[in-house]
Amino acid sequence: MKNLFKLLTLIMVVAFSVNAGYALSVQKLDRHIKGSDFNQTATIAISVRNVSGDSVVYEYNQKKLLHPASTLKIFTSYAAINELTYNYFFKTQFYKDSLNNLYIKLGADPVLNTAQLKKTMGELKDSGNTTFKNLYIDDSIIDKKEFAPGWMWDDDINPYTPKVSSYNLDGNVVRVEMTKSSNGMMATNLKSSYPMSVISSVQSGGQSNYIDVNRYNWSNPEVVEIYGSVKNPQAITIPVSSMRRYYIHTLEKLMDDNKITITGTAFASKIVPDNAQLITEIDNPITKVMSGILQRSNNLMAESIFKLSGAVKYTSTGTNDLAIMVFKEFYKDNNLSTDEIIIKDGSGVSRNNLLSADWMTRALDTIYKHKDFAQFKEYMAQPGDGTLANRLHDLRGDVWLKTGSLSNVSALSGYVKSADGQTYSVALLIQNFNKPQPQIKDFEDEIINIIHGR
């Protein structure tokens, strides 16, 4: 009996020590956030919840509506994959009707590439399908709005925010290589046959690599100017101005290479008729894009599945508005209202998105308890992956986080398994700061370390 009493006393002491230790970490978290230089000038909002007890552990400015940046991808991609399912395939399908017309039904496939189209053209040639009357493209799967509301005009030349279209191909970007020339300038080589002019005044022999790209869509969208100086040869990617033009140009070249002939009209838009026969297709599984969205923060992939979720749910051309309806209905069906937040896109690029840290952790709890969370978690970034490649290395296996960055905006959201075995949902939003991004990231990492208990 005496030994049992000692054992119970020991258990109580250990439990008290764990709770006391965690209480101290909350106090440390509070001092770290409120006492920081960032808190004097920037806006910081944070919410931390225990997912198993659905209880708030720490919060500060948790109701303020702020820009979530790319952390939004967690919430939009989960709603989209819930509608599309993990068995979804992006399909680019080739049909032929009784009049020998060829139809290409686009799938807004964000991972479709020229090599796949080349292989398919070879298959058509080998099967004897080399001459068609007319060639039509069915581009009805998503709408023709290439940017979402709230995207900035200068996102047009940002390689991380290419336009989104039914005509997705090669990531909707082209590659430009710069090599040294004899006159101290960098010679440019456009690694694509896409009809675009590149004017470069980039100088070689600089102390660092600095490149600026301009495109004047109001005068000539197919002329790009590159400025700056570089230490050594560089390669950059530039979004194409017209995905339809790029897609058709690429397809025409591949058809010529394989001697596939169109005797009548080519590349007019037309819905595939019911009596057309499927002759071949290109399939890419949705699982190809999930780590791209959650680990590498690929905006094209995020926006594509966002719109496609609306197309599938409502059996209609996918639009941003339909995708937002899918998003809202998913969280409503899981007892979480979206009335207090504003979303305008699927990637977090839009400056019109507004979320609160409180809503985000409640949404994280909802996702954590959902039936497909275990599979979703496999695609989330851990330290060493994607945008967490150089962060929080000691916590791999204990944190699953999505980063977010816009100009003067930084965010971090996801799950932290603490040293005492508890799992916490975390949402951290910081905006309107005037410090370098690396300092903000270090500040965020220390918050995660404190929550973990290191």
pLDDT (mean) for 67-75:
98
The rounded mean pLDDT for the chain is 92
User: 């080519």: which residue's tokens?
Assistant: 266
Q: Name the band, by pLDDT with cuts 50, 70 and 90, for residue 12.
A: very low
- pLDDT at residue 14 in the model: 36
Would the pTM of this model clear 0.85, i.e. be above it?
Answer: yes
Rounded to an integer, the average pLDDT of 392-407 is 96
User: Tokens 């790029």, residue?
Assistant: 246
The percentage of residues in the chain with a pLDDT greater than 70, rounded to a whole number, is: 94
Decide if 311 contacts 322 (C-beta within 8 A).
Answer: yes
Please, are residues 67 and 354 in contact by the beta-carbon 8 Å criterion?
yes
What pLDDT does 454 receive? Answer: 72
Q: Is the pLDDT of residue 15 over 80?
A: no
Q: Is the pLDDT of residue 247 over 80?
A: yes
pLDDT at residue 4, rounded to an integer: 47
Q: Rounded to an integer, what distance in angstroms lies between the CA atom of residue 310 and that of residue 79?
A: 11
Given this model, what pLDDT does residue 11 score?
A: 39
Residue 403 token pair? 């980063």
Residue 276: which of 124, 102, 90, 132 has the closest Cα? 102
> Looking at residues 381-385, what average pLDDT do you find?
97
Percent of the chain residues past pLDDT 90, beyond the cut = 80
Q: Binning pLDDT at 50, 70 and 90, where does residue 3 land? A: low
What pLDDT digit, counting tens, does each position of 160-192 carry? 999 999 999 999 999 999 887 766 677 788 898
- Transcribe 23-59 into DSSP letters: HHHHHHHHHHHHTSSHHHHSEEEEEEEETTTTEEEEE
Find the mean pLDDT for residues 401-428.
Answer: 95
The pLDDT tens digits of the residues spanning 96-150 come to 999 999 999 999 999 999 999 999 999 999 999 999 999 999 999 999 999 999 9
What confidence tens digit (pLDDT) does each residue in 33-61 have?
A: 999 999 999 999 999 999 987 789 999 99
User: SS3 sequence, 204-242?
Assistant: ECCCCCEEEEEECCCCCCCEEEEEEEECCCEEEEEECCC
Q: How far apart are the first and last CA of the chain?
A: 38
Q: Which amino acid is at 358?
A: D
- Say if CB 101 and CB 132 are below 8 A apart: yes
Residue 167, C-beta contacts closer than 8 angstroms, at least 6 positions apart? 106, 139, 243, 244, 246, 247
What integer is the mean pLDDT of 297-301?
Answer: 97
Is residue 231 very low, low, confident or very high in pLDDT (cuts 50, 70, 90)? Answer: confident
**CB neighbourhood size of 182 (10 A):** 6
Q: Which residues of 148-179 are buried (b: 16+ CB within 10 A; e: fewer)?
A: beebeeebbbbebbbbbbbbbbbbbbbebebe
